[in-house]
Amino acid sequence: MKVLHLLTSGSVGGIEVLCRDMGSCSGFENIFCFLFGEGLIYEEMNSKGMKVYSFVQEKKLSINKLMKIKKIANEVNVIIVHHDDPFLELYFILLKLILPSRKYVSMVHHCYEQKGNEPNYRALKGKLKEIIAGIMFGLSDKIIFVSKAGCKSYLPKYKINRKKISIIYNGISQDKIKHGKYVSKIKQKTIHILYAGRLVRIKGVDQLIKAFSLLSADYPIVLDIVGDGEEVRMLQKLTEKLNISEKVKFWGFKKDITHFLEYSDIFVYPSKTEIFGIALVEAMAFKNICVANNVGGIPEIICDGVNGILNKENSASGLAKSILRAVDVCNDPEQRRKMMNEANITAGRFTIERTVKRLEKLFESDNRKI
């Protein structure tokens, strides 16, 4: 079984990391095509000897690029489109028209409501984007959503044949789960709160900083922010404005955040919309008390008060209350032990190995339409 993955770029992100991990542990042969950009994940996959192709030098949309991708697609059984990009989806659609005998899979990694939140988003551009996505879904043999919430967000907007739909959760490696199992969280005088991820508006890090500022004067807490993005300078200025700079540390992008996950007590994921939240699973594997907004697929991971804490108020004050609940858990040894163990057990349900097995079962179906 040969599977071709179509991606926009190989920069660090949840989709790219998932593809890298799939390439490392799956039993089928994976080929990855990066149509518009490379990046750290692309370089890592290349260095590991995975089959990767870059079309960065080609024009964004061209017959020449299409023919080169077609040559690769001739040798595969399954073609998956990952990123929510209209140009990428156009290539997927064109391949379906010229090579109809392959299995075509749309893998959806975003909730529908995330569309329309982009800078300079115009109604005409948005309408065209929706039309292309609708054609893609119509031509796909299978549509995979990485959470039930993701599926639910798309169904009212698009006429999707429900027989085509599968829900397959993302996962982390067994190595991380095993590593996290033996991490011992020692009671610290100062409680370390961690955020790790992209510093972009949709991730809600500004709300986290505001929530932290409401608590920092009264509680022994510090905040570590690991990641980079277009909002980094704005967020740094916000900490200065709120007079909490000495308690908030910006670490920049780190390829490996294991040390931070081992050392932190509370992991906060303040994303405003999220189809799943693989960063939460990773933090839970390392026995962090996790706090996240009650949005998208996050409630499919966190059961409030059992294996983590859900913020049901879409505000900085609501997030502050949720963080305070986590602080209280950290200060209660028995309650903390129970929540850490439940978090670790939950993480064990979301493994990349399980994800790959589900995909293999889907791809190896005798029926061409999977």
252-306 pLDDT, tens digit each: 999 899 999 999 999 999 999 999 999 999 999 999 999 999 999 999 999 999 9
Q: Which residues of 153-163 are buried (b: 16+ CB within 10 A; e: fewer)?
A: bbeeeeebeee
Q: What is the CATH number of domain 2-171+351-363?
A: 3.40.50.2000
**Segment 314-335 mean pLDDT:** 96
Residue 88: pLDDT over 60:
yes
pLDDT at residue number 120: 52
pLDDT at residue number 117: 47
Same-fold call for 2-171+351-363 versus 174-347: yes
172-220 pLDDT, tens digit each: 998 899 999 889 888 889 999 999 999 999 999 999 999 999 999 999 9
pLDDT at residue number 368: 47
Taking alpha carbons only, the member of 254, 233, 239 closest to residue 208 is: 239
243-263 pLDDT, tens digit each: 999 999 999 999 899 999 999
Residue 346: pLDDT over 50:
yes
DSSP conformation letters of 200-246: SGGG-HHHHHHHHHHHTTTS-EEEEEE---TTHHHHHHHHHHTT-GG
**Segment 296-323 mean pLDDT:** 96
pLDDT at residue number 340: 96
Burial bucket for residue 343 (CB in 10 Å: 0-12, 13-18, 19+):
buried
Look up residue 163 and give its amino acid.
K
What rounded mean pLDDT belongs to the chain? 93
pTM of the model: 0.91
CATH 1.10.1740.10 holds for 174-347 = no
Residues near 237 by beta carbon (within 8 Å), at least 6 away in sequence: none
pLDDT at residue number 369: 46
Q: Are 120 and 166 in contact (CB under 8 A)?
A: no
Residue 310: pLDDT over 90:
yes
Q: Does an H or E element contain 107, and which?
A: strand 103-108
Domain segments of the chain: what residues? 2-171+351-363, 174-347
The 8-class DSSP code of residue 164 comes to G
